[in-house]
Amino acid sequence: MKLVHTTTLSREQKEAVLELVDACKKAEPVTLSAALEDELDYFLSYGGDDDRVLLGYSFLFFTEPSDILPEDNGCAEFMAFVHPAHRRKGHFTGMLNAALSCTETYEKTHNCELDFYLLTDQKSEDAKAVLDLIGAEYWYSEYKMVRPLTEADRAYRPHLTIQRDGQAPEGADLYAAVLDGQVIGTCAVTGGSPDLYLYSFQIREDFQSQGHGNDFLLGMLALLAGAGTASVSVQVSGLNYIARNLYKKTGFRQTEALSYYIY
């Protein structure tokens, strides 16, 4: 067994990772996808007669305090895949220990203390068994919801005025909902045509529960449909019941779930 730690995957490594994840999805109804971008920490576990066959893949992502829930200092997010025919042979344990060691180094370098989370979609019985075995505690879940846009969406005319409100530092487009000359809501849109991702959707607290959220969201869908967008996706916390209900009511359907376990 050989373990490789890298922050940049080669073309051959990416192909091997995709084949491994595909094998996992054929064995169980998992919906999670592989991260392949640069600057994440990757742990690749090899086996076989010459230790050249990829049997385990995992990645580790460090979040900044501003990216997570208030009052959190930051966290390390870990996700792993192990080939169904080679589980219970130490691949997961080796990758997890390497990720914990990497997290400890990060904490010392950045003079901080991180929470460590393991991510799963709750659809792998083997993953559930491992999480239970190592004593990981369930924290909460996030849901990806998707809505295709149609010609009918173009016809919606919101009561609010929706206007472009500049660009966020990360390159997302910002929009504002305006009522009687004042901004009462905002949202951001990112991604490439024909599919976009909508996030940071919010209505000012003093204007909530008055139908403005529904009007703003449908207005945004009309605007995006008119620009040729084929579908829109959102990520919503399982703890945010109001937002989940709004998205469901306006036609969004859940496609993926991501559960966080504290370790």
Q: Give pLDDT tens digits for 234-244.
A: 988 887 888 88
232 in Cβ contact with 221 (< 8 Å): yes
> What pLDDT score was predicted for residue 67?
43
CA-CA distance, 173 to 167, in Å (whole number)?
A: 5
91 in Cβ contact with 47 (< 8 Å): yes
More confidently predicted of 191 and 259? 259
CA-CA distance, 88 to 83, in Å (whole number)?
A: 10
Least confident among 134-143, 162-171, 206-215, 231-240: 162-171
pTM as predicted: 0.73
CATH of domain 2-135: 3.40.630.30
The domain spans of the chain are 2-135, 145-257
Strands (E), 31-114: 41-47, 53-63, 75-82
How far the first Cα of the chain sits from its last, in Å, is 25
Fold of domain 145-257: Aminopeptidase (3.40.630)
